[in-house]
Amino acid sequence: MLFDAGETLVHPAPSFPELFSRVLAREGHVRAPEEVVAASATVFHRFSEAARDRDLWTTSPERSARFWKGVYELMLDALELPGRDGLRDTIYATFTDLGNYALFDDVPPALDALSPSGAILGVVSNFEAWLEDLLARLGVRDRFPVRVISGAVGIEKPDPAIWELAFARAGVTPEETAYVGDNPEFDVWPAEALGMTPVLIDRRGRFPNHAGARITDLRDLAATLEAA
């Protein structure tokens, strides 16, 4: 049983748009979280482009900083704010501070519900190497004995090799593995292509017409897998 991390297990607290909005307010720029959400929509393409160009943006601190500061600059431009006056650096520092992250409330009970099955749990995530420390800080690292983090292994989704590494570490096959993530392009479609059972976690209702297994609360995962 494998999980994505960002927006699946962990999230900026209280949320990405709210934290982003708070940083702007501290710097003298008032923008509502709803405006941040709209600005975020203008940068979704950057993640697909990075995957297409094999720009492994999580695999070193330098790559991560360059990528994320570019994303924040585009968002600030959409918000009609300056991107190169230090503001993007302040935002980057905020979102690399482990203290600004939390587990989703539904994660601990969902993991507890999976415990009786004896399934090996793991994380396969496009995330910087500091995800290891974040999971430890949040008290769940040991619940995932298999951890394949792109920033540590140098492979990023949707490359099948990142899941194949997880299969090898867990001693399982794709056919006996489920994968839970929040993004169809990076989580559901590649998992399905490999023969896994993909489950979309869609807490914000972004994909209401998703044709496959879809949940809006991780506490529904065990029942969804039983019905699959």
Give the pLDDT confidence of 188-215 residue by residue, as tens digits.
999 999 999 999 999 999 999 999 999 9
Identify whether residues 122 and 197 lie together within a single domain.
yes
Asked whether residue 79 carries a pLDDT value surpassing 80, the answer given is yes
pLDDT of residue 184: 95
pLDDT of residue 165: 98
CB 198 within 8 A of CB 212: yes
Q: Which two tokens stand for residue 153?
A: 């292994």
- Note the Cα 194 to chain centre separation in Å: 20
Bridge partners, residue 2, by sequence: 122, 179
pTM, full prediction: 0.95
Bridge partners, residue 181, by sequence: 200
- HSE-up of 183 (CA within 13 Å, CB side)? 17
pLDDT of residue 44: 87
Identify whether residues 165 and 210 lie together within a single domain.
yes
Domain of residue 6 covers 2-10+101-227
Identify whether residues 124 and 209 lie together within a single domain.
yes
CB 101 within 8 A of CB 12: yes
What secondary structure does DSSP assign to 85-153, as a single string? TTHHHHHHHHHT-GGGEEE-TTHHHHHHHHGGGTPPPEEEE---TTHHHHHHHTT-GGG-SEEEEHHHH
Domain with 141 in it: what CATH number? 3.40.50.1000
pLDDT of residue 38: 96
Identify whether residues 91 and 175 lie together within a single domain.
no
Asked whether residue 83 carries a pLDDT value surpassing 90, the answer given is no
Identify whether residues 124 and 177 lie together within a single domain.
yes
Identify whether residues 81 and 146 lie together within a single domain.
no
Identify whether residues 96 and 106 lie together within a single domain.
no
CB 52 within 8 A of CB 150: no
Coil, strand or helix: which one is 163?
Answer: helix
CB 161 within 8 A of CB 155: yes
C-alpha Rg value of the chain to the nearest Å: 18
Identify whether residues 72 and 181 lie together within a single domain.
no
Of 56, 80, 100, the residue that ends a domain is: 100
Of 59, 74, 100, the residue that ends a domain is: 100
Q: Peptide bond preceding 160: is omega within 30 degrees of 0, i.e. cis?
A: no
CB 123 within 8 A of CB 5: yes
Identify whether residues 143 and 205 lie together within a single domain.
yes
Closest CA to 197 of 208, 181, 209: 181
Identify whether residues 111 and 74 lie together within a single domain.
no
Identify whether residues 92 and 110 lie together within a single domain.
no
Of 53, 73, 100, the residue that ends a domain is: 100
Mean of per-residue pLDDT scores for the chain: 95
Identify whether residues 184 and 135 lie together within a single domain.
yes
**What domain count does the chain have?**
2
What percentage of the chain exceeds 90 in pLDDT? 88
